[in-house]
Amino acid sequence: MILVIDVGNTNMTMGVFSGEELEATFRMMTKTPRTSDEYGVMLIQLLKNKGIEAEQIEGCIIASVVPDVMHSLTGAIVRYLDTQPLIVGPGVKTGIKIVTENPRAIGADRIVDAVAAYEKYGGPVLVLDFGTATTYDLVLENGEFAAGITAPGIRISSEALWKQTAKLPNIEIRKPKSILAQETISSMQAGLIYGQIGQTEYIIRKVKEESGIENLKVVATGGLGRIIADETDTIDIYDSSLTLEGLRIIYEKNRSVAK
């Protein structure tokens, strides 16, 4: 079994694969400071809760956009799981060629999503990830990572509303019954959800227009992506485990050097 970890700005999403089968998933908050021992104990307990013993983990791969947690997290994996994690970054085989102006500036999570979408669904493909930020990444038919768009995520926009205004509350992010809202909470929900749908449809349309690629597959992932994908026909596929699958695929491509 291999442990795959996606360290995002808000949460760490983890999965355990046995071959190509995703056997278990779990999450923990990223922003809570933890020592390597705290990470180790939590990892062992989370695995046990899924019926998995630490000794069954043969390897680990991590994609992270939060450098501050990596020392403690990798230390925990080495000490408690007795394996050296493979870190997605320069020098790691992905099967994707990044042809943007500054390839090293592309986040590891975006590369992982691109790998998964290209390997699973082929190219050309536009990969949407509705996370802390909402990202749109274009992978061409030949596997080139050609362009990316970054926008504030739904949760960031929601937090901006209630933190920067005196009377607007913190709300649950969900689609309201109607866009014709008649009170504060549903009006905020309408603006956030329908605003995101509008942004999504416009960006997809502009990417197709400027790239000249009409047969572009559109694949979405991310915690809030299901809400948006269900409301627009511009998204072809919603794949909740896309990032975890991408980590597994990259691990397999680097198995000879992974421990």
Lowest mean pLDDT among 159-168, 227-236, 244-253: 159-168
Residue 68 Cα to chain centre, angstroms: 18
8 Å CB contact between 181 and 187: yes
- Fold annotation for 2-87: Nucleotidyltransferase; domain 5 (3.30.420)
Of 6, 109, 113, 129, catalytic? 109
pLDDT band, residue 258 (cuts 50/70/90): low
Compute the distance between CA of residue 137 and CA of residue 146 in angstroms, rounded to an integer. Answer: 8
Helix, strand, coil tally for the chain in percent (to 5): 40, 25, 35
Please say if the pLDDT value at position 256 is more than 80: no
- Fold annotation for 97-241: Nucleotidyltransferase; domain 5 (3.30.420)
The whole-number average pLDDT for the span 234-259 is 91
Domain ranges of the chain: 2-87, 97-241
Please say if the pLDDT value at position 259 is more than 60: no
SS3 assignment, position 77:
helix
pTM: predicted TM-score of the whole model, two decimal places? 0.92
Q: Do domains 2-87 and 97-241 have the same CATH topology?
A: yes
Summarize pLDDT for 164-221 with one digit per residue, the tens.
998 899 999 999 999 999 999 999 999 999 999 999 999 999 999 999 998 999 999 9
109 is catalytic: yes
Summarize pLDDT for 114-144 with one digit per residue, the tens.
999 999 999 999 999 999 899 999 999 999 9
Please say if the pLDDT value at position 85 is more than 80: yes
Average pLDDT over the chain, rounded to whole? 94
The whole-number average pLDDT for the span 218-246 is 95
